[in-house]
Each structure stands twice: as C-alpha cells, then as structure tokens.
Structure 1
Amino acid sequence: MDAKTGDMSGGCPFHGDGGMRTLLGRTNRDWWPEATQLDILTEEGKSANPYGEDFDYAEAFNAVDYAALKADLTALMTDSQDWWPADYGHYGPFFIRMAWHAAGTYRTGDGRGGAGTGQQRFAPLNSWPDNGNLDKARRLLWPIKQKYGRNISWADLFILTGNVAIESMGGPVFGFGGGRKDVFEPESVYWGTEEQWVNEGVATRIQPTEGRALENPLAAIQMGLIYVNPEGPQGDPHDAEGMARDMRQTFANMAMNDEETVALTAGGHAFGKAHGAQPSETFSGAPESEMLEQQGFGWLTDDEEIGKGHITTSGIEGAWTPNPTQWGGDYFRLLFKYEYELVQSPAGANQWQPINPDPEDMAPDARDPSKKVPTMMTTADMALKRDPEYRKISERFRDDQSALDDAFARAWFKLCHRDMGPKVRYLGPEVPAEDLIWQDPVPAGTQVSDADVKAFKSAVLGSGLTVSELVKAAWASASTYRNSDHRGGANGGYIRFDAMKNWAANDSEELDKVLGKLDELRGSISMADAVVLGGAAAVEKAAKDAGYDVTVDVTTGRGDATEDQFDAESFEPLEPFADGFRNYLKTKANIRTEDMLIDKAHLLGLSIPELTVLVGGMRALGANSGNRPHGVFTDRAGQLTPDFFTNLLDMSTKWVPVDDSGDEEYVGTDRSSGEERFRATRTDLIFGSNSQLRAQAEVYAEAGSEEKFVNDFIAAWTKVMDADRFDLSYAKYHS
C-alpha cells in the first residue's frame, strides 16, 4: 500500500468495474431522478453563466468595498434571525463549518473539489449528509450577497465569511485571497461508486483486513462525508487504531500532514457545538429531494419548531469547550484533563463525555445560558490523544498556545486556498506576503525578444533533436497542468528535476538528452521557456514539411523554480497513470483507457474538438511514449498531417484485438490481402468507434481539411502550453 495515496494496486487511480460509471460514479440524476433536469439547455456549448463569458470577475472583485463587506459579515455573526437560531447568539461556528465544508472536498489525487467554484450550492454537495443544515448558512448570507452582487462570488463569500467568523471570536487568521469565480451548474466529479450515503450503512472505504485501501483519487472515508465518520470507522467508537488510520489517510489525501490535521481538528472544534438534539428520522429530506414550497431548504421539522433548538446534523450533541464562541486553549486542556466515558446523544450517536467535570469546565446550554451541560468529544477527537503521533503534537499545542495559533491559522489558510493554484491568482488586501511551498512559487521570468526566439528556434532545429523528441519534451512539461487546482504546467521548469523527469511516461533517457541540449543552447532563456519554444519549433517544422508555413506563437517569460521551491512529494499525484495523448498506459486498469483520456482532457480544460485534433496531431508527430508505433497511421511521421484520421476511417482496414493484450492492443490489416498495416490502442480506435468522436474525426479526414487541421492543432497545442500563464493574465490586477 502506498502510504500517500492509499493505493494497493501499483498507483492506478481507478479501481472497480463499470467503465465510465467507475470514473463518474453516481450522478445527480441517479440520486434524485425526480429533480428537474436542465442538461438539455446546456447542449451544443450553451453556457449556464448568466454574467456571460466575457465577465471579468477579478476586476469586479477588485472594485468591491472590502472593508464594508467585512463589516457587514461581522455584524451578521451576532445579528440573529428568528427563523434560524444562532448557537450562543453567534453564527460564527456555523459559518466556519460552512467554509470548512466548502473547501474540505479538495483532494490531491486529481485536484478536484474545494471551494473554488462555489459548488456547495449545487447537488450532490448541497444534500450530502455531512452538509446538513448548511443550506441555512448560505441563506443567511443571501442579503449580503444580494447587496454586493457580482463583486463577490459565492465561492469567495463562503471562505471570507469563515475567516470573519474566526476573527470575530478572537481566533488567528493568516490571510485571505479572493478570486474564486462562480460556476452555475454542478461539476462532473467522481465522488465514489457507493449507492448509499454514510448514514445508510455503507462500509468505510478503507478495510485493511480485506486488502481494501482508500480509492484514489478519493479522500473522504464514506459517501456523503467531508472527512471521516466522527463516531469511528463505520460508527465503531472502540476502533482507536482505525480512527487514527482513517484520519491520517483522508487528511493526507487532502494535502494535510499530521500537524495540520491536529491543528485543524482542534482549531475547528474550539468553536461551536455538534447537533444531535433528536433522532434524524424526525426531520425531512435533503434540499434536493424536498417539496417545491420549501424553496431549497431541507432537513426541516414543523415551522413552529424552527428556532427552538430542535436541530440534528451529525447526530452528535454538545460543545467541545466551555467557551464555544471564544478562541483559546480549552479544547486541549479538557482533552487531557479528563478521562472520558462513552455515551449516546439524544439522537443515538456515539460520543465521549468527561467523567465528573468541574462546573467551570461545563458548557452553557445553546438556548438557555443559565444552564450548564457537559462538554463532549467525538471518537475523532479522542484519536488526538489515543494515537501516539497525534498525541505528541496535541501535547505540544496544549503547552504552547502561540504554536497552536500559528499552526491553525496556516492550516486553515491552506485548507481554504489549496485549490486556487499559484499565488498570483489571489486577489484583495489580505493576501499574505509570505510565499508558501504548497503554492508552487516560481521566480519571475524574463520576456524573450522576437529576435532571440527566432535565433533559439533555429539553433534547436539545427541541433540534431528530432520533431518527436522536442514535442514529447514540451508535452511532458506543459500537460501536467490541471485546471481543477491550477497546479502543474510548464512554468517553473519542473520537468528538469529528477522527481518529474523520471516519470515512466516521460522516457527519461530521451528527455534527459533533450533537456541537456536545450540547456546548452538557451543562453539567458529560462529552461521553462526553452522547453516550450523547442516544442514550438518542432511543430513549425512539422507543419512546414507538410506544406504549411506557420508560426507557433507561445508566450515567454516563464521562470525556473529552484529545487527548494519544488515540493516533489506534492507533485506525485500529477504523474500520469495514463496519457492517451502520448498513447501511454502504465498498466491495465479496471476503467477503460479511452475514459482516462477523456478525464485527462477535462483536467487540461480541452473541448471535444481540441481533444480530437491534439490526439491526431500527436500521432502524426510520432509523439508516443516509448516511441510505440500504435496510432501512428502514416508513412510520413514527423509531418503535421491529418493522416491519423484519414487512415483510421479508411474502410479497407480491418481491426482485430491482439490476443494477449487484454483488449488494449489491436492490429489493422488490409481487408483484401490480410497484410498488417497498423497497430492501435483503445485510445486510437475510440475516434472511429464513438459516434461523437467519429463526427470530429470525419471533419479532419475530409478532403481539403489539411490547413484547418494544422491551424486547429496549433491553437490547441498553444492552449496547453500556455495553460498555466496566470503570471501574465493576472498581472493587471496586481499593478
């Protein structure tokens, strides 16, 4: 088992059966078949964005009255409304949970999840059991969102509100970066294959006795949870070892180490209470399944009970500290001061209660301050003193409040910003000056003059490096980009570090030769730019050899990160298990390789036409990993031609599987002579098999399509090469 990914199958990020079903899991239509479906209105590329595609959110955010916005949020914390109660007269803990659960879906495996697009507003997240009653938190924010309009996105508002909540209760905050642009429809994210939620008896995703690890790219331990089951693995409060294991694994898959895990758990639980006032079956369904008249609310009882404290969310009941709306060291003080006994909440949930607590260590009742009630701990909290490594950290934080203050502030900032990508994308007056390693800091580069670009390209083409070698090197660098969390890409020149250069897909010996030669020739040009410019020169040559004199205009000015700025461990999830653009597959997986190609294209932000033309062009350029012949349907490899499509769709070729390939390899023979013509993989043949992809392929196989193919390939290629150039696109917002 890989300690970082939880994987037991050699690094494959896709397990289970069912093809694309395994990749996407259950959809909103599966969970709520009666819900109104709007998909038909977004067909043919129609946008659901009411602001229009030209709306510049960064510009709008920079124009917001930031001080006034924060003042309004601060006032909201104690401005209780009759229809929904504020625990202890303060909404702060409620809003911290809202922000945490918006950001906490992030996972390192594929960079998806997180608060970046405001997905908590939509199914399935708005109806996850773990997000119970957060519909009320979002509705409490509506007057403020309405007031500031397009100048603050929901995505930014969720996180900023969490920050203000912490500040309003005296807690430490490291900073805030705005710039999260809302989307207006649910994103297609694989949340798991289970057909039941956590509260319906579904098994935990880690079962060591059965050899079952946490499936990559997932992080949450059960369907509908943000992290772990707070009652214990599958609700077992006595499985101390399993509780620590689950916490360590799921937080690691969300980019947190042990210290950050302890700081977040303790810091978050320093505020507020858990809710288990009565059995959950007495409440209505989640928002997505509720009646029309409820207007998007869920988890309700009778109207007359709203505001009277009959609230159940996790089922656990009580506060962690005697001062639930004040930051301090009470959490660790109580955790280590008392022995705890197992009890059940009014809703029947397992929780832990201190034995014979002193009166001053009891919490105020959430609705009646004149009453005192015992505090409590969850099984997850108990892990902080049951597990030896967690205990060491917890005792240090207990004895050093300033260390806890700093650790929590930093961990909270990371939790809320991990999916935002490079720091240059952060906006607003509270962006911290300090550069953090998880932000993938890259020194500023220098723009290369047109004359120097031209001279460098000429030198590269005269160096003996081939079109295939140069294209593969540029792709290996730039195609690491993920538009999910905006990590990877060519900027930084990470491809020259062994930890990335030696990825199996990258043909390290060949890549090392290319990088060495580029380094000799580049002069003052950064290595990051040199790799991309080398690829551009190769594409220009390939197009010229095919009869088209074109220029590939990619940007320059990329910087080269130092070894100290390269967090090799955090880059591990970016290594491709499969890359259909290079016809690469590490080992056969339970999900079809063509589906992994689609997933890769989605992470690169590509459209179906862009995906299609890039695959066809890469095959024509001979850019397969390992220089395999599969899909290179041409006798003029290295020229930018649409031969991949014309020969794939040639009806004179018959395709049959190679017997020992496990349906991953095919041979194409001449129907008349039986002579072998080509070799192919599933990712090649899907462009003739799938009706939508075939329709794209036919466009490039048509007579007279050659110039269009060249131009479309260059446009898509340039898009990938420049995908991470936020240093250019965001420069105007920082001037």
Structure 2
Amino acid sequence: MAEADPQISGCPFSSASGKQRKLTGRGNADWWPDALQLDILTQNGKSPDPMGQDFDYAEAFNALDYNALKADLTALMTDSQPWWPADYGNYGPFFIRMAWHAAGTYRTSDGRGGASSGQQRFAPLNSWPDNGNLDKARRLLWPIKQKYGKHISWADLFILTGNVAIESMGGPVFGYGGGRKDVFAPETDIYWGTEEMWVDQGAGTRIDPDKQLDLESPLAAIQMGLIYVNPEGPGGNPDPLLSARDMRMTFERMAMNDEETVALTAGGHAFGKAHGAKPSDTFRGAPESEAMELMGFGWLNDQDEINQGHITTSGIEGAWTPNPTAWGGDYFRLLFKYDFELVHSPAGAQQWQPINPDPEDMAPDARDPSRKVPTMMTTADMALKMAPEYRKISERFRDDQAALDNAFARAWFKLCHRDMGPKARYLGPEVPAEDLIWQDPVPAGSAPSDNDVSGFKSAILSSGLSTAELVKAAWASASTYRQSDHRGGANGARVRLAPQNGWAVNDPEELTRVLGRIDALRGNLSMADAIVLAGTAAVEKAAHDAGFDVTVPFAGGRGDASAEQTDADSFDPLEPQADGFRNYLKTKMSVKTEDMLVDRANLLGLSIPEMAVLVAGLRVLGANAGNSKHGVLTDRPGQLTNDFFVNLLDMKTAWKTVDTSGDEEFVGSDRASGEQRWTATRTDLVFGSNSQLRAVSEVYAERGNEAKFVNDFIAAWNKVMNAGRFD
C-alpha cells in the first residue's frame, strides 16, 4: 500500500502567525523557504507551459506508436541499471507503486489530486515521505519519455507504465485510457493539511475519537505526507482494528468501497517488497531540499549502500509473498495460513512476521535469489484478516482467484482513471467498451432545431416562471461542474435526480415545480438542454429589460442521464457547503466564506473577472438560495445591470455587521439619514473590501462600462453552462 520515509517526519517550519487558512494550508514556500521561487514569472497570466496554447495533446497522443511504447516499457521492466538495481531483477513492483501513488492522491470531496496532470514531478508530492525514492522511478522512465516526446505526457506515462508492469508479471488489467495533459508548475490550490511535520508519529492520526478528531474535509489521507494510511498503524500504533477504521475512512474519501479496498491492497502487495534495511537517519533528505549537484535526487544516493541493498523507504522491510514478481493467490494464502507476531524491521519499524514459516513460503532476497528471507505483513495488511468486514471479503478472494482477478483489475482501473471524468475524454486503443457507473455516463444527445429552440424560449418566457426561478434552475444544474475531476455540469440533467434534487442550496420545492414546468414545455429538447436554455432565455430577457440588445449563446446536444446511470452516493460530496454565487452558507465554518467562493470559482475554471461578474449578475437577477435579499443591491431586480457594483462602492452607504451573525451578515445604511438601504454577506462585501477584487469591481461600476458588464456576464454564464461537455 504505502511506503513512507520516517527520516523526514521531523521537518518543522514556522510562519509569522502560526496559523494558515484552512483552504491554503502549508505551501511549498513554507516547507522549503530557500527554494527558487518562480511565481514572479507566471504573474499577469503568463503560462509556464513550454508547449504553448496551440498544442493539441489529443492529436499528438493519437499519433503515438502505442504498441512500440508498450514494448519498450516491457523491456524496461527487466533492464536493471547499476545506479538503482531492480529488486528481484524486475522494476515492475517499483513502477506499480509509482503509478499508484500518482493516482492515489485523488479525493472525492473536491475532486483534486490524482494522476491527471503529472503532479508527482513537483513539490510537495515529489518529496512526500510516502513517495520516497520514486524520483528514481521517474529517472528510469526518462529515456522512454525522451524518445516518445510530445506523444505521451508524463501523467499518461506514469499510469501506462503501471499497467504494463502488472501485465508483464501476469496480473489482470481491465484497460487503459490516455488523455492526461501535463502541467508545468505545482498545483498550489490543493489543500493538503496544516500539520507542521511529515508523518508525525507523535501527532497520531487525523482520526482520533479520544481527541474528538475526525478527518477534515477535503482531506483523504490519514496523516500529512501519506497517500492513504500509516502502514504501521494509526500514528504508529500497530492495532489492526484501528488501522481498518482508518483504511475505511480514507479509501471512502478516495471513492473506493470495502471490496475495492481489499482488492487493491492485496493486489498491490502481491508484488514487490517494502524497504527498511537501515535506520532512516543513515540517508539524506527529500529531493526538493537536496543539494544542487544531486540534480533532483533525494533520500538515498550513496552507491555503496545501494549496491548492498541498504534501501529504506517506509522503514518496513520485506516482501509480502514468496513470489514477488508474479501474480497469484499467495498474499491471502499466507495471510490466513499463519499466525503472525509483531517484530521490528532493521530500521525500527513495527511489522508482522509469520511464525515458523515453511521454507517454500519464504521470499528470495531482493539481490541474492539463492538466499531465503521471511515474508512480512504490515498492520494495514493484518486489518484485512482481523476486521470482520474485511475478513469476509478476504476469505472470498482467497477461495476464488477469478473473483480477485476481476475485482483488482477493475479497482486498479478506477484508481487510475477516477479523476479523468467522462469516458469521452479517454484516448487510445485500450479504452474499455463497458460504461462504468463511476464514469457518470450520459447518453448521447442530439442538437435541437432552430425552431425547437425558438419555440421553447417563447413558451418558457410565457410560462409564468420568473427570471430568478429560471436562472436558479440552470445555475443549479451547471454549477456542479469541477475542473479538478471533470464531474458534474449540466450535461445529463442530474439536477432532477437524487441527491441533487434534494440539496438545500437548490431550494428543492421550488426546483421541483420549475423543472416540472420545463419538462411539460420542452417538446423535442432533452431535459438537460431545456434547463440550460430556460436560464439562458431568462438572462437574455433580463438584458433586454435593462436596455441591452444582446443575444445569449446556446449550444444544444446534451443528453439526459437516468437514475440507473447515476451513483447517487458518489454525488453527495459535490453538494456545496457554501456557494457564494447563490449567497448560500449551509452552516458557519472555520473557513472564511470568501475563501470558499474563490475555491468554488477555481473548481469552475473561472478567472477573477468571471467570478466577479457572475456574482454581481446573479445577485441582481435574484438567484440567491432561499430567495434571500442579501446582496441584491438594486432597485430593479430581474434586470441584468451593473447595479451590484455601483451600489456596493457607493460612499453614501455605511456598512456594519449584524450582531447575531458572527460577522457573516451586514447592513448598509445611508450615511446621512441612517436609513437602511441594503443587506449583504461576506461574499458580497469582499468585492469592495479586498483591494484586488475592488479594482475589478471599480471597472464594472464605471460609467460607460454597463454594456461591458452585460457582455462579460453573458460570456462567463455561457462558459459555466457548457462546462463539462465532452460530447
């Protein structure tokens, strides 16, 4: 499962305040304050991508000699290099771990993490304890990446290499889809936690009932610097039942159920070994902090130590099975055949060893196949035997190899592709034909005729439904999109299905009534198209009512998903706890609401001006959740005007907090008379209080920029309405 390097569990740092915002957490500059800072070169929209905006990765990938690449990867598996010799003469297990750890950072809560952009190349992931020595795996791959160049991204290569490794050792593979385009800078918008040390054993786990701790959203890993759980047990406590508790929580946060958790753990540990040959303080630090002459290598660099096999990564030492380069049923056979005792590895880590193993059940030494050594299990492995729910699944897999083969192949495919979004984004000859429910399948739609579009627009605008109601329904449908994992969006019209039709932010009773009327009038349009078109028609009318002769674009062709095509449980994490665009806050949180607005804008792929005009436009159109009047800073609601910005910045208004709101709500009164004029929330006032947002707001509040505001709102609206469309 996870190899963590305890040598860097003591990397403390301090900040001026000692506190960080929850959505920001610890940044690279905090962990490595002396590192070269390149942010200044990406200011003002400058891209770090050397391929340029015109590069079409899908076109390049489709021109790849796919079979030749797989043949080269297969040959690499047994092409052991003297500077980093392959355990058992086979790099396959090493590359499986590389692929797993590239994909395994994905989490369902915000869709961030995962393998889709090749982030394992950059800090902090390139220096996480759990990724110890994977810098060597990437260097082993460099000659192949260099050979195939633009036709295969690092992100795609990581996963394909893991697949080839499994195949080359006789393991089952369900398929492969390319299409992960590389980025060329760390994704600094991902919150990994606030801890001040990597894998701090003294701090324990992020789940601790005794301390009233639960795993904070959006986090999924159990400690800072781990992909999943601590293999020694929670906070180093070798209790298999507590480890099972942590495993269930963290794997659920990464979209895996119990069967998938057991299959992945057993399947991954069918191969290779863990490394804990010597105490970790024998070796050097992580790549991001290492000396320049090491050229990005970290942890272990001494060639004499490497040649002797003195490698430490997790601190745990040994193989799980007697055949660590061949797929089979040995993992479960040994787990249930023997009683295990708790021992310490040469590096001092706690692990479990079979008592009196038969000679044939011992593993070959990684460097000397003539020598036999005991196998081992981690505390996380023991959880599959000791925890009742996991044990039932494990016993079934022990007795039915075909079931394990199928479960592992499918779970591995899901692990590696969960963050890619709909299957329409997959590239290559090995994309499985089967539609999987976690891919959020949507039947193909058909573009409506011009007559269908114009007829529906006339009908819906004469239906008695208000501009606000139509805009709210369209926004509820489309704004679920997340660019992090390409889930959500208006395609599929899942807003009419559970759980979205019951989310409080969507005003369920109103939504049901509005969708019913849309359904009755839509004619030949799909429900997905009709919802968007209804909102689009309302925006166009609101602009006309404000005196602007504009046309709001509409592109049809969306399909309608069924309840059977929708995994309702997997959509639960998409429910907004806050949506600043609709001035909605489910409950007051430790995170500032304006931070959550920015986070949601980021998931929607919006720029600062796009975020600003959407908030302002949705306010004057009356699109607040619960039909709240907060932030509706206009005397002509329902018209698309720049009144929000004009009145927010009006110096005739003085603002003060509502005493009972805990600085979430505010009242704006006339400075001269004291008469109350407006009410607002933090996500409204931030556009006047924050200097950068105020600068943008001032542009849209200026006389002469009324039409610019309307046109920019329409462009941003259209962007959100079409987000998530890959048809």
Tell me the TM-score normalised to structure 2 length.
0.97
Which residue pairs with 2:371 in the alignment? 371
| Alpha-carbon shift at residue 303 of structure 1 (Å) | 3.4
For 1:448, what is the secondary structure of its paired residue? Answer: coil
Q: Which residue in the other structure is 1:207 paired with?
A: 208
Distance apart, 1:439 and its partner CA: 0.3
Q: Is the 8 A contact 1:196 1:202 kept in 2?
A: no
Partner of 2:222: 221
Give runs of aligned pairs for residues 312-711 of structure 1, distance below 5 A: 312-711=312-711
Q: Distance in 2 between matches of 1:658 and 1:312?
A: 57
Larger mean CA deviation between 329-338 and 451-460 belongs to 451-460
Structure 1 contact 19–590 (Cα < 8 Å) conserved = no
For 2:246 and 2:130, the matched residues in 1 are separated by: 16
d(CA) in 2 for partners of 1:504, 1:131: 40
Greater mean deviation of Cα atoms: 441-450 or 266-275: 441-450
Deviation at 1:54, TM superposition (A): 1.7
Residue by residue, what CA displacement relative to the aligned partner does 1:386-438 show, whole Å, maximum 9, x if unpaired?
A: 00010000000000000000000000000000000000000000000000000
In the aligned structure 1, how far is the partner of 2:67 from the partner of 2:122? 29
CA distance in 1, matches of 2:460, 2:158: 49
1:498 to partner: Cα distance: 3.7
What amino acid maps onto 1:444 in structure 2?
Answer: A
Secondary structure in structure 1 of the residue aligned to 2:333: helix
Corresponding letter in the other structure for 1:198 = V
Q: Residue by residue, what CA displacement relative to the aligned partner does 1:68-103 show, whole Å, maximum 9, x if unpaired?
A: 000000000001111001000000000000000000
CA distance in 2: counterparts of 1:706 and 1:442, whole angstroms = 39
Query: What's the secondary structure of 1:21's corresponding residue?
Result: coil
Q: Distance in 2 between matches of 1:20 and 1:435?
A: 42
Distance 2:406 2:26 in 1: 40
Q: Take 1:434 and 1:67, find their aligned partners in 2: how far apart are those partners?
A: 22
What letter corresponds to residue 621 of structure 1 in structure 2?
L
Contact 2:133 2:299 in 1 (8 A): yes
The equivalent residue for 1:156 is: 156
Partner in structure 1 of residue 185 of structure 2: 185
CA distance, structure 1, for counterparts of residue 446 and residue 597 of structure 2: 34
Q: After TM superposition, give the deviation of residue 305 of structure 1 in Å.
A: 3.0
Structure 2 partner of 1:236: 237
1:133 Cα deviation after fit? 0.1
Report the CA distance between 1:241 and its aligned residue.
2.0
What per-residue deviation string (whole Å, max 9, x for no partner) do you get for residues 180-223 of structure 1? 00000000200011111105633210001222111111110000
Q: 1:310, CA displacement in angstroms?
A: 1.4
Paired residue secondary structure (1:700): helix
Unaligned 5+ runs, structure 2: 1-16
Q: Secondary structure at the match of 1:655?
A: strand
Measured against aligned partners, the alpha-carbon deviations of 1:282-302 in whole angstroms (never above 9, x if no partner) come to: 110000000000000000242
Give the structure 2 partner of residue 295 of structure 1: 295
* Equivalent residue runs for 1:297-312 within 5 Å: 297-312=297-312
Is the 8 Å Cα contact of residues 441 and 565 (structure 1) preserved in structure 2?
yes
Aligned to 1:716: 716
* 1:665 shift after superposition: 0.4
Where does residue 194 of structure 1 map in the other structure? Answer: 195
1:19, distance to aligned residue in structure 2 (A): 8.5
Q: CA RMSD in A?
A: 1.0
Is the contact between residue 473 and residue 535 of structure 2 (CA under 8 Å) also seen in structure 1?
yes
**Letter aligned with residue 191 of structure 1:** W
Question: How far does residue 309 in structure 1 lie from its aligned partner after superposition?
Answer: 1.0
Task: Tell me, in whole angstroms, the C-alpha distance in 1 between the residues paired with 2:602 and 2:283.
Answer: 39
* Residues 291 and 200 (structure 1), Cα distance of their counterparts in 2 relative to 1, 3 Å cut: farther
Q: Is the contact between residue 363 and residue 373 of structure 1 (CA under 8 Å) also seen in structure 2?
A: yes
C-alpha distance in 2, partners of 1:379/1:437? 32
Work out the CA distance in 2 between the residues paired with 1:551 and 1:326. 63
CA deviation map 1:568-621 (0-9, x unaligned): 100000000000000000111111100000000000000001001111111111
% identity of equivalent residues:
78
**1:21: how far off?**
1.8
C-alpha separation between the residues in 2 aligned to 1:436 and 1:231? Answer: 34
The 8 Å contact of residues 232 and 351 in structure 2, kept in 1 or not, is answered as yes
Q: Which residue of 1 aligns with 2:7?
A: none
Contact 2:20 2:26 in 1 (8 A): no
Secondary structure at 1:438 match in 2 = helix
3-state SS of paired residue (2:210):
helix
CA contact (8 A) 2:305 2:311 kept: no
Contact 2:452/2:524 (CA < 8 Å) preserved in 1?
A: no
CA contact (8 A) 1:501 1:511 kept: yes
State the secondary structure of the residue aligned to 1:634: coil
Where 1:353 maps in the other structure, the secondary structure is: strand
Counterpart of 1:329, as a letter, is: G
Alignment partner, residue 22 of structure 1:
22
Question: Do the aligned partners of 1:106 and 1:112 also contact (CA within 8 Å) in 2?
Answer: yes
**Contact 2:204–2:236, Cα closer than 8 Å, also in 1:** no
Alpha-carbon offset, residue 449 of structure 1: 1.3
CA separation of 1:724 and 1:117: change in aligned 2, threshold 3 A: same
| Distance in 2 (alpha carbons) for counterparts of 1:446 and 1:140 | 47
Q: 1:96 is matched by which residue type in structure 2?
A: I
- 1:460 shift after superposition: 0.6
CA contact (8 A) 1:176 1:432 kept: yes
Contact 1:95–1:165, Cα closer than 8 Å, also in 2: yes
Alpha-carbon distance in 2 for matches of 1:307, 1:51: 39
Distance in 2, matches of 1:54 and 1:205, equals 44
SS of 1:23 mapped into structure 2: coil
Match of 1:7 in 2: none
Local SS of the residue matching 1:669 = strand
Q: Aligned to 1:418, what secondary structure does the other structure show?
A: helix
| Structure-2 separation of matches of 1:547 and 1:309 | 77
- CA drift at 1:18: 8.9
Q: Which amino acid in 2 is paired with 1:121?
A: R
CA distance in 2, matches of 1:587, 1:493: 27
Q: CA separation in 2, counterparts of 1:636 and 1:661?
A: 27
Output the CA distance in 2 between the equivalents of 1:132 and 1:193.
Answer: 21
Contact 1:364–1:371 under 8 Å retained in 2: yes
What is the aligned partner in structure 2 of residue 731 from structure 1? none
Note if contact 1:20-1:592 (Cα within 8 Å) is conserved in structure 2.
no
Equivalent residue number for residue 5 of structure 1: none
| Alpha carbons 1:467, 1:621 under 8 Å: kept | yes
Q: Residue 501 of structure 1: CA displacement? A: 1.0
Distance, in Å, in 2 between the alignment partners of 1:446 and 1:127 is 48
Contact 1:18 / 1:591 at 8 angstroms: preserved in 2? no
- 2:146 equivalent to 1:146: yes
* Contact 1:172 1:406 (8 Å CA) reproduced: yes
Residue 168 (str. 1) matches residue 162 (str. 2): no
Counterpart Cα distance in 2 of 1:307 and 1:619 = 66
Q: Within 2, Cα distance between the matches of 1:23 and 1:201?
A: 24
C-alpha distance in 2, partners of 1:287/1:497? Answer: 47
Return the alpha-carbon distance in structure 1 between the equivalents of residues 18 and 237 of structure 2: 31
In 2, the alpha carbon distance for the partners of 1:579 and 1:669 equals 26
CA distance in 2, matches of 1:382, 1:302: 34
Question: In structure 2, how many angstroms separate the alpha carbons of the residues matched to 1:208 and 1:422?
Answer: 38
Alignment of 1:280-291 (within 5 A): 280-291=280-291
Deviations 1:266-289 (A, max 9, x none): 000000000001011011000000
Instruction: Find out whether 1:52 has 2:52 as its counterpart.
Output: yes
CA–CA separation in structure 2 for the residues paired with 1:235 and 1:228: 10
Q: Aligned partners of 1:680, 1:325: CA distance in 2, in Å?
A: 63
Q: Which amino acid aligns with 2:406?
A: D
Return the alpha-carbon distance in structure 2 between the equivalents of residues 240 and 264 of structure 1: 17
* Secondary structure of the corresponding residue to residue 454 of structure 2: helix
Distance between the aligned counterparts of 1:199 and 1:50, measured in 2? 38
